Amino acid sequence: MKSATKDKTPAAFPPNPGSEALAAEILEVLKYRVGKDTTVATPYDWLTASIKAVRDRIIDHWISATKEAYEQQEKRVYYLSLEFLIGRLMRDAFSNFGLMNTVREALASLGVDFDVIAALEPDAALGNGGLGRLAACFMESMATVDIPAHGYGIRYANGMFRQEIQDGWQVELPETWLDHGNSWEFERRERAFEVGFGGSVESVTDKEGRLERHIWKPGERVLAVAYDTPVVGWRANRVNTLRLWSGMPVDPILLDKFNAGDHIGALAESNKADALSRVLYPADSHMAGQELRLRQEYFFSSASLQDILQRHLSQYGELESLPDKAAIHLNDTHPAIAVPELMRLLMDVHGMDFDRAWSITGRTFGYTNHTLLPEALESWPVPLFERLLPRHMQLVYAINAQVLLEARATGRFNDEQIARISLIQENGDRRVRMGNLAFVGSHSINGVSALHTDLMKKTVFADLHSLYPGRINNKTNGITPRRWLFQCNAGLTALAREAIGDRFLDDIEAIRDLDGFAGDAAFREKFAAVKRANKVRLAELVARRLGIRIDPSALFDIQIKRIHEYKRQLLNILEAVALYDQIRSHPERDWAPRVKLFGGKAAPSYHNAKLIIKLANDVARVINGDPAVRGLLKVVFVPNYNVSGAEVMMPGADLSEQISTAGMEASGTGNMKFALNGALTIGTLDGANVEIRERVGDDNIFIFGLKANEVAERRSGGYQPRAVIEGSPELSQALSAISSGVFSPGDPDRYRDLVSGLYDSDWFMVAADFDAYAAAQRTVDDVWRDPHDWNARAIRNVARVGWFSSDRTIREYAKDIWNVPA
Ligand SMILES: *Cc1c(COP(=O)(O)O)cnc(C)c1O
């Protein structure tokens, strides 16, 4: 047995070449690989040259890590995710390599400003929000805690759309992040696998007529070509691989069609292959039912599994040991089709029988559930599934038969429960339930916060949990402190080093040592100065992008995340409207100046979310333009929220808005980023907020509103939002201002759907929580008025949230799910 923890080498960066040597390397790359000399080099050329120069150094570590994993026969982790929201990589890689200052100096000696070229790096937005960002943090943490790991996904030519705000409305524009090439990646033409779709299944029988095996004859085939990006862990402990697949035609041009004069038809294959890696579906927490999405899911799952099996076979020569040498993780149900795909490969290609294959499959896969929202739970119509993946349909039926047999054999389940366990949903149109498929094909199913895991056991997976007790476990999400503290908040990092030394750089939980400084007046002053500088930087971004001036001495109250009704940006906007009315009615009161910042994208087809963006912008225009407000309240919607934007917004926040309807946010990770950067949270007892409160303490967080069980009770107990609204003068006033067109002059009906939704059903309990929320905001004002008190609480937040590091999360996965040392 290998020991559960690895020997730790002393904390040190790889040898530093010095800025002169690095400058020479950058010049060399500029000349011979970019093909420019310094007189004609554009800033973009300098960016390319800098990345490639450092990348060359990374490659040595990359190769040696790969070799070591091979020689030591280490178990590898394969993280399958349809999304990796990585953002910019340059700072990450340079800083983890310990080369940040060296690169800065090297470039300065060449007359180039690092920050100018850094801003040119495209923000790789191959994800929607939290789920994709989690995958990116996990990749960095796996490299940091020294786990041999590969991430597998799709190299979308167009990732998340770019959001512009025109006349207050969201407009979506394509994001073409690959326009100038991608200096980080390596194309691996030799690493290409065929992926099939459609066609038919043939059965092969032996001489006695017994079924020997099934052979799938796909009607279409495409190639998946690998593109590899190195992922550098902290201090370059290890460099892992993010392998993204791109679709290529098997036959780029169909010559027979071309020769017959059908020049467009001759390109049909090419276009179909291209479509697979063209766009990321832009809906967060909502299942996209299109056929292309199922094709994408199968495309990347199949290519990844073929790659994994080939690697395993070439090293070990057999597949029985797969579960001992490979842990394959499913990030949500998007790659759940990998379960029947592994069965197909083991049975149809490698000749195993069902039972062996099923045993190997279950011991190899783990699955993370990310949401309980019914509209987000994936299921596919049986006819579509059968047409696109006929062999997988057979295997799903075979797996289902096995599972239902087991369930009936226990004698514990009635017909209704059996129907819920089934992989096939039978009421209405018949659909394949991808959550159930991922569950039965995995030995571990985890939720992403304590509350979410508890609700999983009680709701969606109650029956499967009863059939397979012990499989469900919790792994509370985390964030990488490298990006979300060291890189985005250099000021706070330097201050912490000065106060408590460098231990927290390698063990973020040691940031606890700052706790004692909350009572130190001199330290609080320094802390406040760092926060102020970060707010100035954020104010400059707002001025540059929007031409709006915000005062860094005001309270910066920030809600940035995908726009979704359950996240309740509407609650925040309504409170702003109510506060606006209060400021005008009571100008004599001592109002604490506040800036409310919003950011986030709405799924293009999500009507209400887009309306909420328009409302935020309408409210901003009226409030910011009203002299009676005297600058005491400003509202700003910052367009195109993405990872790079988050890196400026998080450090500049005083107040973090985490106000989802309790029971609906699985975990949240934005909440963790804010707290680590010294913002206080106003939030509900939802997702990881519950655990953040346990760690920072009740006095250092503003909790309000219904709890998850109370939301459930209200919903089932005849909740009457109209009565609640009528009982709240502030809310009534805010809603009537909106309905009467105060914010939409000439178009009073613009928000009729939003407002009537609150009166008639209010599924998200906005009205039910409004008064509690407004009261919590006034408590926030009271604390804010005492800067010593506020800063002490903020420092305690920083000190006490080191546990929410993705290093900790990954170590838990390694120990409890993957069985790998970390
Ligand atoms: C962290 C992050 C998220 C997730 O935010 P939540 O508040 O947890 O929903 C979404 N988008 C970006 C760009 C992020 O960095």
Is 737 inside a domain boundary?
Answer: yes
The CB of 670 under 6 Å from ligand 1? The reply is yes
With both helix axes pointing from N to C terminus, report the angle between 100-109 and 90-97 in degrees, rounded to the nearest 10: 110
What six digits make up the tokens of 685? Answer: 């007892």
Q: Are 458 and 542 found together in one domain?
A: no
Q: Are 536 and 401 found together in one domain?
A: no
Report the distance separating Cα 673 and Cα 794, nearest Å: 13
Calculate how far, in angstroms, residue 481's C-alpha sits from the geometric centre of ligand 1: 15
Point out the catalytic residue in the list 370, 452, 524, 531: 370
Give 9's pLDDT tier (boundaries 50, 70, 90): low
102 included as an active-site residue: no
Q: Are 107 and 136 found together in one domain?
A: no
Calculate how far, in angstroms, residue 333's C-alpha sits from the geometric centre of ligand 1: 20
> Which residue matches tokens 């201002």?
737
At 34-58, the pLDDT tens digits run 999 999 999 999 999 999 999 999 9
Indicate which residue's Cα is closest to atom 4 of ligand 1. Answer: 130
Calculate how far, in angstroms, residue 670's C-alpha sits from the geometric centre of ligand 1: 5
The CB of 130 under 6 Å from ligand 1? The reply is yes
Please answer whether residues 696 and 796 qualify as being in contact, where contact means their C-beta atoms are separated by less than 8 angstroms.
yes
CA dihedral 28, 31, 37, 38 (to 10 degrees): -30
Is 352 inside a domain boundary?
Answer: yes
Q: Are 391 and 537 found together in one domain?
A: no
- pLDDT of residue 4 exceeding 50, the answer is no
Q: Are 599 and 612 found together in one domain?
A: yes
Give the number of domains in the chain: 3
Indicate which residue's Cα is closest to atom 10 of ligand 1. Answer: 129
The CB of 669 under 6 Å from ligand 1? The reply is yes
What six digits make up the tokens of 456? Answer: 């999983």
Report the distance separating Cα 118 and Cα 748, nearest Å: 45
Per-position b or e across 318-329, b if 16+ CB within 10 A of its CB: ebeebbebbbbb
At 618-646, the pLDDT tens digits run 999 999 999 999 999 999 999 999 999 99
What six digits make up the tokens of 595? Answer: 């800036």
The CB of 492 under 6 Å from ligand 1? The reply is no
586 included as an active-site residue: no
Is 198 inside a domain boundary?
Answer: yes
Q: Give the count of beta carbons closer than 10 Å to the beta carbon of residue 357.
A: 21
Among residues 661, 699, 700, the alpha carbon closest in space to that of 679 is found at 700
The CB of 692 under 6 Å from ligand 1? The reply is no
370 included as an active-site residue: yes
Domain of residue 185 covers 73-88+123-476+810-818
Q: Are 658 and 643 found together in one domain?
A: yes
669 included as an active-site residue: yes
Range with lowest mean pLDDT among 136-140, 174-178, 211-215: 211-215
Average pLDDT rounded to a whole number, residues 22-34: 97
Among residues 36, 81, 79, 28, the alpha carbon closest in space to that of 53 is found at 28
For residue 130, the ligand 1 atom closest to its alpha carbon is 4
- pLDDT of residue 287 exceeding 90, the answer is no
> In the chain, how many H helices and how many E strands?
34, 24
Q: Are 168 and 111 found together in one domain?
A: no
Give 753's pLDDT tier (boundaries 50, 70, 90): very high
Calculate how far, in angstroms, residue 130's C-alpha sits from the geometric centre of ligand 1: 5
Calculate how far, in angstroms, residue 716's C-alpha sits from the geometric centre of ligand 1: 31
Is 482 inside a domain boundary?
Answer: no
Q: What is the CATH number of the domain that holds 532?
A: 3.40.50.2000
Point out the catalytic residue in the list 235, 293, 561, 568: 561
At 559-588, the pLDDT tens digits run 999 999 999 999 999 999 999 999 999 999
- pLDDT of residue 118 exceeding 90, the answer is yes
Indicate which residue's Cα is closest to atom 15 of ligand 1. Answer: 643
561 included as an active-site residue: yes
- pLDDT of residue 2 exceeding 60, the answer is no
Is 783 inside a domain boundary?
Answer: yes
Among residues 181, 193, 83, 183, the alpha carbon closest in space to that of 139 is found at 83
Point out the catalytic residue in the list 55, 452, 673, 750: 673
Q: Are 597 and 710 found together in one domain?
A: yes
- For the chain, the first-to-last Cα distance in angstroms comes to 14
Q: Are 583 and 630 found together in one domain?
A: yes
Indicate which residue's Cα is closest to atom 5 of ligand 1. Answer: 670
The CB of 642 under 6 Å from ligand 1? The reply is yes
Indicate which residue's Cα is closest to atom 8 of ligand 1. Answer: 668
Calculate how far, in angstroms, residue 446's C-alpha sits from the geometric centre of ligand 1: 20
Among residues 29, 24, 22, the alpha carbon closest in space to that of 45 is found at 29
Is 500 inside a domain boundary?
Answer: no
Q: 0.85 exceeded by the pTM? A: yes
Residue among 92, 647, 669 to mutate when testing ligand 1 (max atoms within 8 A of CB) = 669
Q: Are 61 and 113 found together in one domain?
A: yes
Looking at the DSSP bridge assignments, the partners of residue 150 are 78, 241
For residue 87, the ligand 1 atom closest to its alpha carbon is 13
Is 484 inside a domain boundary?
Answer: no
At 219-278, the pLDDT tens digits run 999 999 999 999 999 999 899 999 999 999 998 777 787 788 887 777 777 888 999 999
For residue 643, the ligand 1 atom closest to its alpha carbon is 13
Calculate how far, in angstroms, residue 123's C-alpha sits from the geometric centre of ligand 1: 14
Among residues 123, 115, 98, the alpha carbon closest in space to that of 22 is found at 98
Is 485 inside a domain boundary?
Answer: no
For residue 642, the ligand 1 atom closest to its alpha carbon is 13
205 included as an active-site residue: no
Point out the catalytic residue in the list 48, 669, 681, 809: 669
- pLDDT of residue 22 exceeding 90, the answer is yes
Point out the catalytic residue in the list 155, 162, 567, 596: 567
The CB of 646 under 6 Å from ligand 1? The reply is yes
Report the distance separating Cα 256 and Cα 509, nearest Å: 65
Q: Are 736 and 776 found together in one domain?
A: yes
CA dihedral 764, 766, 769, 773 (to 10 degrees): 130
Q: With residue 269 as reference, give the H or E element that holds it.
A: helix 268-276
Indicate which residue's Cα is closest to atom 7 of ligand 1. Answer: 670
Rounded percentage of the chain residues whose pLDDT exceeds 70: 99
Q: Are 77 and 46 found together in one domain?
A: no
pLDDT of residue 5: 52
Report the distance separating Cα 394 and Cα 338, nearest Å: 14
Indicate which residue's Cα is closest to atom 3 of ligand 1. Answer: 130
At 776-804, the pLDDT tens digits run 999 999 999 999 999 999 999 999 999 99
